[in-house]
Structure 1
Amino acid sequence: MSKLAIDGGTPARSKPLPPNYPGAVVLGQEEADFASKVIMSQSPFRYYSPDPQYAVEQLENRMSADLGVPYTLGVTSATAALVVSLKALGIGYGDKVIVPANTFLATPGAVVCCNAVPVFCDVDESLNLDPKALEQVYDDEVKAIIAVPILGNPVDMDPIMAFARSKDIPVIEDVAQSCGATYKGQPAGSIGTIGAFSFQMNKIITAGEGGAVVTRDVKLFERAVRYHDQGLMRHHTRYGIDSPDDQFAFVGQNYRMSDITGAVMVEQWKKLPSIVAAMRQCHDLIRDAVAEKFPEIQFRHCPDPDAGYIGSNLGIIMPTKEATAQFNKAIGAENIGMHILYAGLPAYRTPAIYNQRTADKDNFPFNYPFRKPVVYSDDLCPRAIDLIPRTTYLPISPVLTEQDVEEIIGGFIKVYAALRDRQLIGQ
């Protein structure tokens, strides 16, 4: 067996893997040409300009057609998409919103910025929200659920939607990390009441920043449009909405997507199928080779294993968090970067959330006198506490070559076998 690089041996790869920016690494002439067309027309604003190119509108139309939803709204970020979604649903002060313990800070942060309070639900071995744990955290002050498919892995949506219907509350799908994922043939983001997408730099497709809101509900969509554009409803006839501003207007903010961002995203959206296909092919080759060599390895569970995942990350659950740290250090020395999420901590352990601190007076909205107070403790979600630091991820780039895949497989086998022989990992 080859000597590990961490012990002074030759690394499995001579250089690091491609950067973990799936959409950005395939940015090219197509995006540049359309963005340039918008700029040269001196028309970067989507709603009016000297020579409008309607790039955001094109993006919205394409997304609606491919996702099978009638209404799509381009916004400035995924955080904006979450805020707009929550505001469209009327979530606010005195409300609780269930969020998964394993998610980026933006998910509970958007809830707080809408003047509501996040309630954290534990995860299962998909590292996503566990539908069986919903009843434990629900009370009648909960007004919505946010489901988050982490790193390209779909959420088990059927039981979540059934639970939500039984309580008559909406479901927001935060698919920021999983654009292109599906669940039982339905695109992630199109299953819940409303969906939020991200086009930030390290997402599956990107314009550096940007996001989108999708829904089948015309009334929610009208509220989303108004909130993202200062309470206005421009071009309402495009959606078949006939709502005089003086009757339905309310105060909103500015989360409008620019036409430059829209232009980049039109071309990125076209590339989504090829990006996903490339990632899945490499993901499956690596997973199958590892599983054949080490049948004891536990992969992150997928609720839709035949088609749902997009292959952007291969998740492996190690026996202990110490083993995960040792493995990541050793395989990193082979120029194969693997990582845990969020420093191995649940989202409620983020200091601002854990300590319920905001920029507002009296830490509003955490100061609301709930009948059942919201308290965050270290042991709040035991499965998340256990699984997050034990799960390591291999990012899969859509530009991996056949040689890259072979070297990843070889490096993984080399490191895992050596650490197992030393009884530091595995069985």
Structure 2
Amino acid sequence: MKVPVRKELAGNFYGSYLIGNEEIKEVTEVLKSQSIFRYYGPNLLGKTDRFEQDLMKFHNVQYALGVSSGTAALKCALKALGVGTGDEVIVPAYGFIATAGSVVSCNAIPIFCDVDTSLNLDPYDLERHITNRTKAIIVVHIMGVAANMTHIKSIADKYGIPIIEDVAQSFGGSYKGKRLGVIGDVGCFSFQANKILSTGEGGALITNNEKLYKRAKIYHDQGAVRIGNSFPNWNDESFFGENYRMNEITAAIGIAQLKKIPTMLNKLKRQKLLLRKIINRCDINYRSSWDDNGDCGISECFFVEDLDKRDEIIKKLRELGINAHGYYSCAVYENKLFLNISDKYNYLDKQIDSEKKNRYKTGDCPKAEKLSRQAVWIPISPLYSDDDIKYIGEILKKYVT
């Protein structure tokens, strides 16, 4: 099959590409009301309340809280669980820095756990990291694919450790019939511009635990306790918090976006299956999955053993108009921010061997280090037609196998 070179790469956007008249209508209503703050205004429409109700219905949970970002959702969840100075929180060694960063921002210590070939937290490496200081486990469902929640949850339950699910990259995905975000104690979402549900910025957390919800709500609103849309007050339930509130414009976009997500994910899943069908006889080392049916379908990922060849493949694919990436090409703790971290955060020094300069070092999580450098990612855009997928498949057959 002779294929033309495509000049333009589709961007790494999902919900953003769906923005249309529905979002414009919702936002225009808010602007006309002159009430853009969620709790009061001249003619408050209650868009944030409505968006939270929609999220609760979508995930079949009792509580949802709209916040200003995915990172804010993680921090509110950590604070709801009482995580503070010197506590340890286990996080996967592969992924975006925000997960570990939210732990550090609580003056707590991120403890990195290795990953399996799904690039999610490896339950077989989990137990060795648990200590009497472990306050929580954050599981990140990377790029549309769920972690091995059955095994992870069994270990967490064994030690009585709560689980936070970071679902920033996998909104609408599932694991064995359950929506991601409802399997652990708290689920956290990001609605940033290149996420599945996109509001520019924004996030949310969901839970079935009333206590955790109330504490997260207090923390996200300057430690205040509000009754309805009243002015905040501070009482015996209060503790110092920050401002992570969602505004009415963000929520308005979210209301319209949420209605479009099931259709988009169905299309992306179908296209990923089509891509696999085209290249199914090729010798490609795919990223593994713990539940193919729950896959969001937003990306294809495979591993290339030869690192020089991996970079050449990414370059060639991009030259041919295919949106290929290496994404996170190292373990999280190899980021410069984590070098000499004990010099910047004195509370980390207490449990470090005096002979060690750094808490984190190369070799701590060998699979994360290796796989991050071998991974080739190809996002599957909602803009793609079946012909686009066939084009990608033919190119992969030619240049990858």
Q: TM-score range by the shorter chain?
A: over 0.9
Tell me, yes or no, if the aligned pair for 1:279 and 1:310 is still in contact at 8 Å: yes
Report the Cα distance in structure 2 between the residues aligned to 1:222 and 1:27, rounded to whole angstroms: 32
Q: Residue in 1 aligned with 2:337? A: 352
What SS does structure 2 have at the residue aligned with 1:246? coil
Report the Cα distance in structure 2 between the residues aligned to 1:152 and 1:364, rounded to whole angstroms: 36
Is 1:284 aligned to 2:284, yes or no? no
| Amino-acid identity (%) | 38
2:258 is matched with which residue: 241, 251, 269? Answer: 269
2:145 is matched with which residue: 149, 153, 159? Answer: 153
2:89 is matched with which residue: 97, 118, 142? Answer: 97
C-alpha change, 1:12 and 1:100, in structure 2 (3 Å) is: farther
CA root-mean-square deviation = 2.1
- Using the TM superposition, give the Cα deviation of residue 237 of structure 1 relative to its aligned residue in structure 2, in angstroms: 10
What SS does structure 1 have at the residue aligned with 2:119? coil
What SS does structure 2 have at the residue aligned with 1:248? coil
Q: Residue in 1 aligned with 2:371? A: 387
CA displacement, residues 56-99 of structure 1 (integer Å, 9 cap, x when unaligned): 11111011111011000000000100110000000011201100
- The amino acid that maps onto 2:366 is P
Q: Residue in 2 aligned with 1:399? A: 383
Is 1:211 aligned to 2:212, yes or no? no
- The amino acid that maps onto 2:387 is Q
Tell me, yes or no, if the aligned pair for 2:63 and 2:213 is still in contact at 8 Å: yes
Give the number of equivalent residue pairs. Answer: 398
Report the Cα distance in structure 2 between the residues aligned to 1:413 and 1:393, rounded to whole angstroms: 15
Tell me, yes or no, if the aligned pair for 1:180 and 1:272 is still in contact at 8 Å: yes
Q: Residue in 2 aligned with 1:318? A: 304
What SS does structure 2 have at the residue aligned with 1:388? helix
Question: What is the TM-score with the length of structure 1 in the denominator?
Answer: 0.89
Q: How do 1:292-307 residues align onto structure 2 when only pairs under 5 Å count? A: 292=281, 294=282, 296-305=283-292, 307=293
Is 1:363 aligned to 2:345, yes or no? yes
CA displacement, residues 137-177 of structure 1 (integer Å, 9 cap, x when unaligned): 22221111000011111111111111111111110000111
Q: Residue in 2 aligned with 1:339? A: 325
Question: What is the TM-score with the length of structure 2 in the denominator?
Answer: 0.95
- The amino acid that maps onto 1:408 is I
C-alpha change, 1:411 and 1:371, in structure 2 (3 Å) is: closer
Report the Cα distance in structure 2 between the residues aligned to 1:235 and 1:93, rounded to whole angstroms: 30
Tell me, yes or no, if the aligned pair for 1:199 and 1:208 is still in contact at 8 Å: yes
What SS does structure 2 have at the residue aligned with 1:291? coil
Tell me, yes or no, if the aligned pair for 2:86 and 2:348 is still in contact at 8 Å: no
Runs of 4+ in 1 over 3 A off after TM superposition: 235-238, 367-374
Tell me, yes or no, if the aligned pair for 1:101 and 1:122 is still in contact at 8 Å: yes
- Using the TM superposition, give the Cα deviation of residue 16 of structure 1 relative to its aligned residue in structure 2, in angstroms: 2.3
- The amino acid that maps onto 1:231 is G
- Using the TM superposition, give the Cα deviation of residue 376 of structure 1 relative to its aligned residue in structure 2, in angstroms: 0.7
Q: Residue in 2 aligned with 1:252? A: 241
Q: Residue in 1 aligned with 2:165? A: 173
CA displacement, residues 374-403 of structure 1 (integer Å, 9 cap, x when unaligned): 821111101111111111111001121122
Report the Cα distance in structure 1 between the residues aligned to 2:309 and 2:279, rounded to whole angstroms: 17
Report the Cα distance in structure 1 between the residues aligned to 2:4 and 2:350, rounded to whole angstroms: 55
Q: How do 1:119-138 residues align onto structure 2 when only pairs under 5 Å count? A: 119-138=111-130
